Amino acid sequence: MSQNNNKPVVTRIAPSPTGDPHVGTAYMSLFDYIYAKQQGGKFILRIEDTDQKRYNPESEKRVIDALKWLGLSPDESPEIGGPNAPYRQTERLELYQKYAQQLLDSGHAYRAFETPEELEQIREDLQKRGLGQGYDGRAKALSKEESEQRAASGEAFVIRLATPGEGETIIKDALRGEVRIPNSEVPDAVLMKSDGIPTYHLAVVVDDHVMGVTHAVRGEEWLPTAPVHVLLYKAFGWEEPIWIHMPLLKNADGKKLSKRRDDASLDSYKKQGIVPEALLNYLATMGWSMPDGREFFSLKDMTKFFSFERISLGGSVFDMKRLRHYNAHYLRDVLDLETVAERAKPYLKSAGYDWGDEDYLLDVVDVLLPRIETLAELAEQSDYFFNDDFSYSEDAKRRLEAGQKHLEALERELSRLDFFDYDDVDDAMREYVKSESVKMGEVMMPLRAALTGTTQAPGVTDLAVILGKAKTLERIGRAISYLEAGLPDDKPQKPKKEEDAGANT
Ligand code: GLU
């Protein structure tokens, strides 16, 4: 892609702080970040908070936290500052006023004094005539003197872009080539509202210019308004950034992923226990591909091989199942066990579990990893490792009933073991199965049910070894008491000490 006059690359993410950080923000930030890093440039976070009606005060912090979580740290932001501070548009109002005045002076913008009622009338009239512009540009005809005078007398006005009535505006989009829009279709957009606050159009252009943004990466939903921005660059006589309108992430119905309809919130993914590495890798594959077609790759590799040329425009369907598949891969095969355990801690904590010993936690995580795709699932499935008072599922109860005699025998066999490592436990069970001429499953299933209260759990020898001899025997004893009591109660009393034969041997 041609460099913007060989200036150092500057990209930016410019979210409006309106609520939950959206996955689209992560998607754009990923490409901004990657490209800036690859080119030795800068990535800026700017908060576009000029729409005060939709402003949500917590949202800025949530965006900053989300970028931190993702590891896409900006080089400049409202939090860390930088040479282009301030990074909140409402703190830059004087700048926009200065540039709006410049446009008024050069005749590229004009004041419009219509009241809301008049505007409504104009809109209706235009609609009746099949014109969708919303405003007919009538205030353009006001003389400079009248405009100045009415403004000086305190009459409310907005400042509008004076679009050329003829010709066309060309958006040179790096992904699409030249997109040509007839100027007759470009509205005289409001640049400055009557309260002196700029609209997005003026603020984004002024800020991208003064912050030296070379590549404006944003969603393709902004393409229809891009002519307003291109006309503004021309009016100011500024060099345009390279426009990159990225394909939108879609839901399964082919519609734009929306916070209201779909699971599109970064906070929600975090809560579900998606790890950021997996999310970024998955997002990277939406509309972009590695030259060698690899499915899994790190941010570092992506930085090495990234080019906007490999973006495809179809738009990708964001599929939670695929994201979970990526997540499982990262948990099982990419991140080391210690890291996964560390990341699992907040999920376990919020489930109320206390893991005590770090090695015990590592064992638990290790044995559950093949069975889970997210950290939240890991916490959900680990109950019996941290809670002795679990209940028995219906399936587990059936298994216990069918296997009472084996449980009693295993309690005896296992209590005799001096060492309780994998091979010892495995040998003891195999010997028992052989001596009784029964199938392995007939013994394993009741034991699994006794140790976990479920029938959906990891290998029973692993379970016994992780739980340790004392706990294994205690749980077998508990299951036997439950069976002996013959009660439908699925939360039997803990076995009394004397019944807990051999538990402490
Ligand atoms: N404030 C706009 C948004 O919320 C930024 C669009 C752009 O990047 O130009 O997405």
Q: Is 46 helix (H, G, I), strand (E, B) or coil?
A: coil
* Residues tagged active-site: 259
Q: How far is CA 318 from CA 249, 257, 282, 330, in A?
A: 6, 8, 9, 18
The pTM assigned to this predicted structure is 0.91
> Pocket of ligand 1, candidates 29, 87, 222: which has the most ligand atoms within 8 Å of its Cβ, to mutate?
222
CA-nearest residue, atom 10 of ligand 1: 15
User: Would you state the torsion angle of the CA atoms of residues 255, 31, 223, 317, taken in this order, to the nearest 10 degrees?
Assistant: -10
Q: Which atom of ligand 1 is nearest to the CA of 200?
A: 1
In the chain, the amino acid numbered 394 is E
Average model confidence (pLDDT) across the chain: 93
Across 181-210, average pLDDT? 96
Q: Which atom of ligand 1 is nearest to the CA of 18?
A: 4
User: Percentage of residues in the chain with pLDDT exceeding 70?
Assistant: 95
Tens digit of each residue's pLDDT (9 = 90 or more) over 339-351: 999 999 999 999 9
- What is the CATH number that goes with domain 270-382? 1.10.1160.10
pLDDT for position 505: 30
Cα(320) to ligand 1 centroid in Å equals 25
196 pLDDT above the threshold of 50: yes
**Whole-angstrom distance, CA of residue 169 vs CA of residue 453:** 68
Cα(16) to ligand 1 centroid in Å equals 7
18 pLDDT above the threshold of 50: yes
Across 459-463, average pLDDT? 97
Helix axes 276-284, 23-38, angle to 10 degrees: 80
pLDDT for position 488: 52
Q: Which atom of ligand 1 is nearest to the CA of 204?
A: 9
Across 60-65, average pLDDT? 95
User: Percentage of residues in the chain with pLDDT exceeding 90?
Assistant: 86
* CB-ligand 1 contact for 63 (6 Å cutoff): no
258 pLDDT above the threshold of 70: yes
* CB-ligand 1 contact for 190 (6 Å cutoff): no
pLDDT for position 78: 96
Cα(97) to ligand 1 centroid in Å equals 20
- Neighbouring C-beta atoms of residue 138, cutoff 10 Å: 12
Half-sphere exposure of 451 (CA within 13 A, CB side): 30
> Pocket of ligand 1, candidates 11, 13, 16: which has the most ligand atoms within 8 Å of its Cβ, to mutate?
16
Residue ranges covered by each domain of the chain: 270-382, 388-501
Cα(217) to ligand 1 centroid in Å equals 9
> Pocket of ligand 1, candidates 48, 56, 215: which has the most ligand atoms within 8 Å of its Cβ, to mutate?
48
501 pLDDT above the threshold of 60: no
CA-nearest residue, atom 7 of ligand 1: 218
* CB-ligand 1 contact for 218 (6 Å cutoff): yes
Cα(238) to ligand 1 centroid in Å equals 20
pLDDT for position 499: 37
pLDDT for position 322: 96
**Whole-angstrom distance, CA of residue 70 vs CA of residue 30:** 9
Burial label for 456, CB within 10 Å (0-12, 13-18, 19+), is exposed
Contact 223, 245 (CB under 8 A): yes
pLDDT for position 503: 33
CATH architecture of the domain 388-501 equals Orthogonal Bundle (1.10)
**Whole-angstrom distance, CA of residue 309 vs CA of residue 315:** 15
Concatenating the DSSP letter of every residue in 192-213 gives E-TTSPBPHHHHHHHHHHHTT-
pLDDT for position 4: 63
Please indicate whether residue 260 or residue 466 has the higher confidence score (pLDDT).
466
Tens digit of each residue's pLDDT (9 = 90 or more) over 355-385: 989 999 999 999 999 999 999 999 999 999 9
Tens digit of each residue's pLDDT (9 = 90 or more) over 78-135: 999 999 999 999 999 999 999 999 999 999 999 999 999 999 999 999 888 887 778 9
- The sign of the CA dihedral 325, 329, 332, 336 is negative
Cα(101) to ligand 1 centroid in Å equals 24
Cα(44) to ligand 1 centroid in Å equals 13
* CB-ligand 1 contact for 222 (6 Å cutoff): yes
* CB-ligand 1 contact for 14 (6 Å cutoff): yes
Strands 215-219 and 190-192: unpaired
* CB-ligand 1 contact for 16 (6 Å cutoff): yes
* CB-ligand 1 contact for 46 (6 Å cutoff): no
Kindly state the helix (H) or strand (E) to which residue 216 belongs, with its residue range.
strand 215-219
